[in-house]
Amino acid sequence: MNRSALRLPTSVLLLSLSGSIATEITPAETSKTTENYRLHMFDEPFRSLANRTIELMFDTARVDNGPDQSVLPEAKAKLDFTYQFNGVQHSAEDVLGDTDADALLIIKDGKIVYERYLNRADAKTHFNSYSMAKSFNSILVGLAIADGRIGSVLDPVEKYVPELKNSGYGGTTIKDLLEMRSGVEWDDNFFAEGSTARKAHVAAWVEASARYTDFAAGAKRAHPPGTVFNYDTMDAAVVGLVVERAVKMPISRYLSNRLWRPAGMEAYAFYVIDGPPGIGREFSGGGFNAVLRDYGRAGLMMLNRGRANGHQILPASYVAESTTASTTSDSETKVAHLGYAYFWWPVLNSRAYVALGGEDQFIYVDPATRTVVVKMSHGPVGPDAEAQEQETLSFLDAASRWKSR
């Protein structure tokens, strides 16, 4: 889901879906009340509550955890550092109010040094990750390669989804999509009048009347694959479909089997699906939800080069490959100080990288200082969102350098 395009006018419900790709499904029966709630979940002041009540609003597919919970030791410390933003020195906890935080977790050397919940959230709250879900897609690809279900990131997309051969995705590789260089013509701003992204969002997210990836078959080619960076949620959704086809099971079940259970996650996670169970597919572009500490455990797995809870879950070589920037200019990514890798955002001039989602969601990983930070928020959109994002990045850099004891 687009990190900045998070507001839809009510009139969007009246859009025709004539541009969608027909599929033989039984449409979900979604009441107008539910549609209206989904439509306005991004509005102020509802965002904070909406971000953690997704199970009440949508059909979902669980990512089950197992009985073996990994322990996160604690060495709690006071946030006694400062950070600089826009020429002003801030106390560390200023970031909570300044960036509309709902929860913050800091892990150093495998130990929780700070954990706080705000706005009536708690340790059992499932937070929507928005586009951080894309980084979990990257992990899924690495797992499928390790299992021999995907040959390599250089495999053509149409090998796994042959119906896309004659679309804009024909001739693209998985790597092209992971790097947001598919070359497909796609405006990811889903509130832009008349955009395909808007129609796809309403059909899949609001009405659950079509599958999100149905719209990929109508995508056109704008650039040769691999040449031009264009942030595109459909690329991520197609990657999720590639993994589903390759492993021959829903990605929610695969993620449970290959990450959530062996890594010792403490709670189930879940995906929003674009229709009722048995019809809907996981919205892997921005519909993944988990509790704060399990996002932290995922960050620790990446920090530890794919190892978690005594298991080598993801190959260390893939962790390195997937977090090394292929887009090294922030003028291309249009996010200051961040490049792009395989659905991860490397921090330029640093070893750190982040999973990044709309409304200021972050998983920050810095191998140089053995630091993982997770921040869940309900931030605004537009210019204010960009300012919050940059303030959070300043805070994360300072938190990484902070000596907690």
Query: Tens place of pLDDT for every residue, the chain, 405 residues?
Result: 444 443 333 233 323 333 333 344 444 468 999 998 898 888 888 889 999 999 999 999 999 999 999 999 999 999 999 999 999 999 999 999 999 999 999 999 999 999 999 999 999 999 999 999 999 999 999 999 999 999 999 999 999 999 999 999 999 999 999 999 999 999 887 766 678 888 999 999 999 999 999 999 999 999 999 999 999 999 999 999 999 999 999 999 999 999 999 999 999 999 999 999 989 999 999 999 999 999 999 999 999 999 999 999 999 999 999 999 999 999 999 999 999 999 999 999 999 999 999 999 999 999 999 999 999 999 987 777 999 999 999 999 999 999 987
DSSP-derived letter for residue 132 is: G
* C-alpha distances in Å from residue 291, one per residue of 95, 121, 124, 189, 213: 20, 10, 6, 28, 27
- Sign of the torsion formed by the C-alpha atoms of 223, 15, 191 and 359: negative
Phi and psi angles of residue 120, each rounded to the nearest 5 degrees, phi first: 70, 15
Q: How far apart are CA 268 and CA 261, in angstroms?
A: 9
127 close to 288: Cβ distance less than 8 angstroms: no
**Axis-axis angle for helices 133-146, 233-247 (nearest 10):** 30
N- to C-terminal Cα distance for the chain?
38
Strand pairing of 307-308 and 288-290?
unpaired
CATH class as words, domain 49-401? alpha beta
b/e string for 125-156 if b means 16 or more Cβ within 10 A?
bbbbbbbbbbbbbbbbbbbbbbeebbeebebb
* C-alpha distances in Å from residue 282, one per residue of 17, 130, 208, 257: 20, 13, 12, 16
Single out the residue of 338, 397, 332, 392 nearest to residue 360, CA to CA.
Answer: 392
Phi and psi angles of residue 226, each rounded to the nearest 5 degrees, phi first: 85, 0
* Residue 40 three-state SS: coil
For residue 74, what are the β-bridge partners? 112
Q: Which value, in Å, is the radius of gyration of the alpha carbons in the chain?
A: 20
Q: How far apart are CA 213 and CA 121, in angstroms?
A: 32
